[in-house]
């Protein structure tokens, strides 16, 4: 079986890490397949929302396959992330992580690549690589503080502590906690809702957020204007305006 599975349903692109026997950890082959999946999602205009999850009930992803570290060091795409595009910053479509079970080390880095994180009640989180002198080089030092704040991020990064799903929800690391059997159905519900919206403004807004993070407010506002104005002349912008004025359901072409 492939180490990464992909499927498409109604503009939703499902990516499944498929190594449950080793807690869905990432070796070089898995990283390559993940890279290909993310690039496909980025470049295919007919794919609106991505969901990433792990096979089985125990683990979303436990991080790098330390028993096969050599294959990761040989991965040709490692400049964009040892874990397969995990350092990418140019996907401006919504990404949802459906976190089932262990979300440790590099798995947490992959989860933080997502915009929304839905956790099952049995999910656990932590920077467990702290115990083995493995650095965070797939985005977590930058994304985690932006998600939970500097103090909480430093606590997780420096101590390597494990937290459960409800603590992750309390500190803002995950958006929702659901029963295990509701995890993928709930992720799909959200994805379908996002697919029903016109895509242009949503992607522009995500791009403005991502490009503006860490910049001075004045520069961020300039970027917001620059990105957002590109939507104003589109068919879907005027269709939305007309539909509102005419009190009817809009008919978007999602271009």
Would 107 be classed as within a structural domain? yes
The count of residues in the chain is 255
| pLDDT at residue 255, as a whole number | 67
Per-residue pLDDT, 8:
97
Does residue 255 belong to any structural domain of this protein? no
Span 119-150, pLDDT tens digits:
999 999 999 999 889 899 999 999 999 999 99
Residue 225: CATH number of its domain: 1.10.12
Q: Report the SS3 class of residue 191.
A: helix
The residue with tokens 């998600």 is 147
Specify the number of domains making up the chain. 2
Same domain membership, residue 139 and residue 76: yes
129 is catalytic: yes
Does residue 165 carry a pLDDT above 70? yes
Average pLDDT over residues 217-225: 93
Residue 125 lies in a domain: yes
- Please state, in angstroms and as integers, the Cα–Cα distance from residue 125 to each residue in 19, 37, 97, 153, 183, following that order: 19, 24, 13, 12, 16
For residues 53 and 100, is the Cβ–Cβ distance under 8 A? yes
The percent of residues in the chain predicted with pLDDT above 70, rounded, is 100
pTM for the model stands at 0.94
Question: Same domain for 173 and 212?
Answer: no
Q: For residues 127 and 183, state if they share a domain.
A: yes
Q: Give 209 or 238, the one with higher predicted confidence.
A: 209
29, 36, 79, 109: which is the annotated catalytic residue?
A: 109
242 shares a domain with 164:
no
Residue 214 to residues 144, 145, 206, 218: CA-CA distances in angstroms? 13, 11, 15, 11
Q: Say what percent of the chain tops pLDDT 90.
A: 77
Of 69-78, 162-171, 231-240, the range with the highest mean pLDDT is 162-171
Catalytic residue, chosen from 29, 36, 124, 129, is 129
> Angle CA(79)–CA(45)–CA(96) in degrees, nearest 5?
65
Judge whether 74 counts as a catalytic residue: no
Q: Which residue is listed with tokens 């009817």?
A: 248
- Whether residues 192 and 211 share a domain: the answer is no
187 lies in a domain? yes
Residues 81-116 have pLDDT tens digits of: 889 999 999 999 999 999 999 999 999 999 999 999
Inter-CA distances, 136 with 67, 73, 107, 125, 174, Å = 17, 14, 11, 15, 20
Is residue 253 in a domain? no
Could you tell me which of 136, 134, 78, 79 has the C-alpha nearest to residue 112? 136
pLDDT at 139: 93
Give the integer Cα–Cα distance in Å for 76 and 247: 53
Average model confidence (pLDDT) across the chain: 93
Do 235 and 175 reside in the same domain of the chain?
A: no
Residue 248 is predicted with a pLDDT of 85
Q: Are 207 and 234 contained in the same domain? A: yes
Query: Measuring CA to CA, which residue among 215, 182, 32 is closest to residue 99?
Result: 182
Stretch 35-54: mean pLDDT, rounded?
97
Average pLDDT of span 224-228? 93
**Residue 158, φ and ψ in degrees, nearest 5:** -80, -40
Residue 100 forms part of a structural domain: yes
Whether residue 205 sits in one domain with residue 178 = no
Residue 73: predicted pLDDT:
83
61 located within any domain? yes
DSSP codes joined into one string, 218-234: HHHHHHHHHHHHHHHTS
Question: Which residue range forms the structural domain that includes residue 174?
Answer: 4-196
Greater model confidence, 82 or 52 = 52
Asked if pLDDT for residue 74 goes beyond 90, the answer is: no
Asked if the structure places residue 211 within a domain, the reply is yes
Is 245's pLDDT higher than 80? yes
Q: Does residue 245 or residue 170 have the better pLDDT?
A: 170
CATH number reported for the structural domain that contains residue 8 in this entry: 3.90.226.10
Using the 3D structure, point to which of 174, 196, 218 is the last residue of a domain.
Answer: 196
Identify whether residues 79 and 205 lie together within a single domain.
no
Residue 197's pLDDT is: 93
């Amino acid at each position: 079986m492939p180490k990464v599975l992909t499927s498409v349903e109604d503009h939703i692109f499902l990516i499944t890490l498929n190594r449950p026997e080793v807690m869905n950890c990432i070796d070089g082959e898995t990283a390559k397949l993940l890279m290909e999946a993310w690039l496909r999602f980025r470049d295919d205009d007919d794919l609106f929302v991505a969901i990433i999850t792990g096979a089985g009930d125990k683990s979303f992803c436990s991080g790098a396959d330390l028993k096969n570290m050599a294959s990761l060091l040989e991965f040709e795409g490692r400049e964009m992330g040892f874990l397969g595009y995990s350092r990418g910053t140019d996907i401006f479509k919504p990404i949802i992580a459906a976190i089932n079970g262990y979300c440790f080390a590099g798995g947490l880095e992959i989860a933080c690549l997502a915009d929304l994180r839905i956790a099952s009640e049995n999910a656990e989180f932590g920077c467990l690589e702290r115990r083995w002198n493995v650095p965070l080089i797939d985005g977590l030092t930058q994304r985690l503080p932006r998600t939970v704040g500097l103090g909480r991020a430093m606590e997780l990064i420096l101590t390597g502590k494990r937290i459960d799903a409800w603590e992750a929800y309390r500190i803002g690391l995950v958006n929702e906690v659901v029963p295990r059997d509701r995890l993928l159905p709930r992720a799909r519900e959200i994805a379908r809702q996002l697919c029903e919206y016109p895509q242009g403004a949503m992607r522009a807004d995500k791009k403005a957020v991502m490009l503006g993070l860490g910049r001075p407010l004045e520069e961020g506002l300039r970027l917001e204007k620059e990105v957002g104005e590109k939507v104003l002349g589109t068919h879907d912008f005027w269709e939305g305006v007309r539909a509102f004025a005419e009190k009817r359901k809009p008919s978007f072409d999602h271009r």
